[in-house]
Chains A and B, each alone.
Chain A
Amino acid sequence: MTLNLEPNIADPDGFYDELLAVHQGLSDADSQALNARLILVLANHVGDRQVLRAALKVAAKR
């Protein structure tokens, strides 16, 4: 499996809304904690170490 960097989310605006909504009203610290949990949940779902490594690389590139 390779990392999918093509559009893959149905209803992107809806997803983005939901992502912001879970952070609504949280302090920075709580938001960061939530993000950390989210990353771990998603990473476990992906599972594939090669895909995860590729994703880390994409995210770390500025």
Chain B
Amino acid sequence: MVDIRYDLAFKLYPYEPIATQTQPAQRRPVVIVGGGPVGMATALDLGRKGTPVLVLDDHEGVGQGSRAICFAKRTLEIADRLGAGQRMRDKGVVWNVGRVFHGPEQVFEFNLAPEGGHKNPAFINLQQPYFEKFLVDEIRVAQDEGVPIEIRGRHALTGLEVVGDHVRLEVDTPDGPYQLEADWLIACDGARSPIRDMMGLSFDGRVFEDNFLIADVKMMADFPTERWFWFEPPFKDSGQSALLHKQPDDIWRIDFQLGWDIDRAKELREDNIRARVDAMLGEGAEYELEWTSIYTFQCRRMAQFRHDRVIFAGDSAHQVSPFGARGANSGVQDAENLAWKLDLVVKGLAPDTLLDSYAQERAHGADENILNSTRATDFLTPKSEMSKRFRNAVLELARDHAFARPLVNSGRLSVPCVYDGLSLNGPDRLDGPARTRVGAPCVDATLADGFLLDRLPGQFVVLSLDVDAPQIEEVDGVPIHHVSLDLSVDDPNDMVRARYLGDAPYAIYLLRPDQHVAARWNTAGADDIRAALRIALGKGAEI
């Protein structure tokens, strides 16, 4: 028996019985449990690198409901590398302007319009089912090219045991159970992770006593494509805050903060939801309710993301409030951090301790996301009279005075974290810009011919700027790709110069497969690059 817990938006991987059902357990190098954005991104990345992956999902496709709707630039950059970025940009709604209201008054507006020279916008809004579908579609393209990815729908993990050098899995299907073995098991099974429960692992953090009502409505409206956020909204019964944000297909996300003591069933009744939406949009507004949901949230993470041969990624490992769009976006960054490391470990090119750096780096990212989303939540839902007074004082002052606007916090929007001071970092021997320091993700730039990030494939790269780098093809069997730019030709807008050199005349960067900076120098010899690369492989001597 495999229970169906939700309806599908897209049926993408219908159940198929497997031929080996009654045979002894087959061994797989990597099994991913959970076919959401994190599981599918991990599968596609690993598969494209040549490591065979099996994805188990207990449903046959993508669940209904828009859920995550804001996908950040870094996520789109990763999707680009995986081959799915263009469809996301084509379908997604690009937005830059946000307005913040307090009651009926606008407090201020902001514009995320990024500096020039980035292929991707700061954000697109896209319903999560589309994001997942585009990844799966790209997996199908990859499979046709021979990339070793297998997806099994309605195959539900029901038990597991770590035994020595592998994990033994119990899987249930409509045709009954079977067993599997995995060298590595990746748990992408969501915030309520059954794997976490099967292993008896805790998931501690802070519960926020608040309910939020989502009403996605379909309407032809001429609201601008902007993020509108109200503190203490003026419309009847709209709660403590409200949000209006556009998605593709003429769908608008409306979000009301209802408070703690509510009657969920009553609030979810269509007439009650319509009364709230009518008050917000004005009497006579015509719309269809596309999807409604009430959610609560918590900010918490697992103490360890790696438990021997079981690795947790995305919501199963960490959970944040939705303010700031840090859930799905950070999960996709988990996926890309894990994929290159696990690929090298599976191929025997790196020690398995490299996977500890996944846990270290992404726990660092999770802590940053939890900190930011907790602070946003405290601003949105003041927990005491005094904190509410300060919150409202900030909002009142922000109308007239620029100084107070940076204190207004309706969610600090997701940006990738910098792995400052962590174990894979090599030397920073360049007096270069802080934004591309060691540990930082590469910043995109327009080149004479295309974009910089499109020149960085999912492997180690030596990027040399106006200087010759030693032509090392590999270190300990790990291949190195070289990108050499002559800035007088390749950098007509001086973007690479501003973002990677600053006042330095030339530089050599060692970049990781996930486009984070591993080391940088004015000039480097072959030994410098070898040593830094070994550190980035988790073999590292201290520097």
Chain A residues at the B interface, C-beta cutoff of 8 Å: 32-33, 36-37, 39-41, 44
Contact = CB atoms under 8 A, between A and B. Distances in A.
Contacts of B397: 37, 40-41
A44 B389 CA distance: 17
B407 interface: yes
A26 to B, nearest CB: 13
A47 B332 CA distance: 37
Contacts of B404: 40, 44
A41 B394 CA distance: 10
A37 B396 contact: yes
Tell me whether chain A's interface is mostly helix, strand or loop, or mixed.
helix
Interface string B403-417: 110010000000000
A33 B393 contact: yes
Contacts of B394: 40
Nearest to B390: A36
B392 interface: yes
The CB with the most chain A CB atoms within 10 A, among B389, B394, B407, is that of B389
A37 B403 contact: no
Nearest to A38: B393
Contacts of A37: 393, 396-397
A33 B389 CA distance: 6
Given A37-B396, A40-B394, A41-B397, A32 B389 contact: yes
Contacts of A36: 386, 389-390, 392-393
B405 to A, nearest CB: 11
A33 B396 CA distance: 10
Contacts of B389: 32-33, 36
A33 B397 CA distance: 11
A19 to B, nearest CB: 17
Contacts of B386: 32, 36
Contacts of B396: 33, 37
B355 to A, nearest CB: 37
Contacts of B403: 41, 44
A39 B397 CA distance: 11
Contacts of B401: 41
Nearest to B407: A40
A40 B407 CA distance: 10
A36 B392 CA distance: 9
